Amino acid sequence: MSGTNTSHSPTHHTSTIGAIGAPSRRNTELALLVFAVVIPVFAYANVGLAINDSVPPGLLSYGLGLGLLAGVGHLTVRKFAPYADPLMLPLATLLNGLGLVVIWRLDQSKRLSNYAEAAPRQLLYSAMGVALLAVVVIFLKDHRVLQRYTYISMAGALFLLILPLVPGLGANIYGAKIWIKIPGLGTLQPGEFAKIALAVFFAGYLMVKRDALALASRRFMGLYLPRGRDLGPILVVWVISILILVFETDLGTSLLFFGMFVIMLYVATERTSWIVFGLLMSAVGAVGVASFEPHIQTRVQAWLNPMREFELSRAGVQDGVVHSEQAMQALWAFGSGGTLGTGLGQGNSDLIGFAANSDFILATFGEELGLAGVMAILLLYGLIIERGVRTALAARDPFGKLLAIGLSGAFGLQVFVVAGGVMGLIPLTGMTLPFVAYGGSSVIANWALIGILLRISDTARRPAPAPAANPDAEMTQVVRPS
């Protein structure tokens, strides 16, 4: 009698879900990881056969190395975050593996023989990134702990952004002052880690201030205008992004930080007016800085007239401005690739030179895998962003929602800024394509970003615990006539 009555009660229904549990999808993740390792291994063999007519001797060690990284990530998530999203880890592994293949392919170029091999170092950086992901998943038991460090995160992010400006520590590479020199390790880009710290700060700040920011004092042309005193935060972030642009001449990082804040502001307040203000302020700031900063002017000129810049660079014109031929070379690489590409190892994008394996690695994909390959790469990025947004929607706490949307937004903006620059949609920014391009700071920071998203998704997808039995409620149901 008791069992019959309680089977229709909400209390018993909840406890049944808690007892059975939602599927963890770890086996799905494992199956996808197998594909994420096998596909780059086949691509690696393909490159070797195309260049040297033989299977590359390092095929086994490469496959074992990538498989080991995937295995460590999977076992960590299986044990410490069993309900985490099953797609993020395989997607990131596949992108990382394909990036390693193309970096190795560029290493084999006879025309780049004066450069040290980058693929082994990138594999080392990838291992460090997966190790950092494991540390995040194991030791960050609850993402809400990060909320306590809201203002410490802001201070840490500002410290990381200022580091490249310290005399003797910062390094000016190709016009941008965004690196620091570390003896024995080369250069590090602190801005890649600053984006995670800023996402934590924005999430904590906006969770507390969202109600005040959502208040509108008047309506103008269909937009709700915020109160004057509530414009303070966006003005501060705008000023910081402009200062980054001025002192570090880094268009990409300033766009990334300001764009991430505007996205999180919109999600927190649901006010379209913030997006309009953000776009206007970023446009005003970029145009203002470009009017007197020669490095930014060079990037804009290469975007507006790449063929002219190519000719001036080849002619060796000395007019006090650095002329770049890479923007035009990237467009030629995309054009020669066509729909299906020339085939892995059979393109000429290595002619782009020193930036072929970093800023312009997408041009190699475009030439050797064609439009189909580029669309596949962008689709993989889109899936990571979609899973991040889905995690934000599923999160039960406002801080987790904002943090997940901020990290996903930053990731998406970085892909757009880099891909848009290489394809000629926007001016070049000098940032690296996440997981694919050569660069230790980028790959390590993005693995940490995936780790935080995995932790948030584990908390969001974890089934609710079974409620404690209530004998009084049970007795009430027993005596009630059915």
Residue 96 lies in a domain: yes
Task: Please check whether residues 276 and 403 belong to one and the same domain.
Answer: no
Whether residue 125 is found in the same domain as residue 206? no
In the 8-state DSSP scheme, what is residue 177?
E
Does some domain include residue 306? Answer: no
161 pLDDT exceeds 70?
yes
Residue 457 lies in a domain: yes
- DSSP letter, residue 117: -
What per-residue confidence (pLDDT) applies to 7? 42
Task: List the structure tokens of 70.
Answer: 């995937």
Residue 191 reports pLDDT greater than 50: yes
| DSSP conformation letters of 414-467 | HHHHHHHHHHTSS-------TTTSS-HHHHHHHHHHHHHHHHHHHHHHSPPPPP
**Pairing outcome for strands 223-226 and 176-182:** unpaired
Q: How many domains does the chain have?
A: 2
Q: Residue 305 domain-assigned? A: no
Domain of residue 219, residue span: 150-240+255-285
- Do 233 and 154 lie in one domain? The reply is yes
pLDDT at 228: 66
Contacts of 38 by beta carbon, 8 Å cutoff, 6+ apart: none
Instruction: Report, as an integer, the average pLDDT of 457-465.
Output: 86
Evaluate whether residue 471 is within a structural domain: no
How far apart (Å, rounded) are the C-alpha atoms in residues 128 and 124?
Answer: 6
Which residues are within 8 A (CB) of 191 and not within 5 positions of it... i.e. 6 or more apart? 160, 161, 164, 178, 250, 253, 441
Task: Please state, for a pLDDT cut of 70, what percent of the chain lies above it.
Answer: 83
Q: Model confidence over 119-138: pLDDT tens digits? A: 888 999 999 999 999 999 99
Looking at residues 185-189, what average pLDDT do you find? Answer: 74
On whether both 350 and 259 belong to a single domain, the answer is: no
| Domain contains 333 | yes
Flag whether 187 is in a domain: yes
Give φ, ψ of 170 to 5 degrees: -75, 155
Residues 169 and 84 grouped into a single domain? no
User: Is 190 found in the same domain as 278?
Assistant: yes
Confidence of residue 368 (pLDDT cuts 50, 70, 90): very high
- Are residue 341 and residue 422 in the same domain, yes or no? yes
The pLDDT score that the predictor gives to residue 173 is: 66
CA–CA separation, 195 vs 193, rounded Å? Answer: 5
Residues 259 and 168 in one domain: yes
Does 349 lie in the same domain as 269?
A: no
Is 188 in the same domain as 128?
no
Residue 314 lies in a domain: no
Q: What is the mean pLDDT of the chain?
A: 83
> What is the reported pLDDT for 160?
87
Query: Residue 315: pLDDT above 90?
Result: no
Tell whether 359 and 401 lie within a shared domain.
Answer: yes
Does 120 lie in the same domain as 80?
A: yes
Distance between CA atoms of residues 200 and 445, nearest Å: 14
Residue 189: strand, helix, or coil: coil
Of 166 and 389, the structure prediction assigns the larger pLDDT to 389
Separation CA 219–CA 198 (nearest Å): 31
Q: Specify the pTM.
A: 0.87
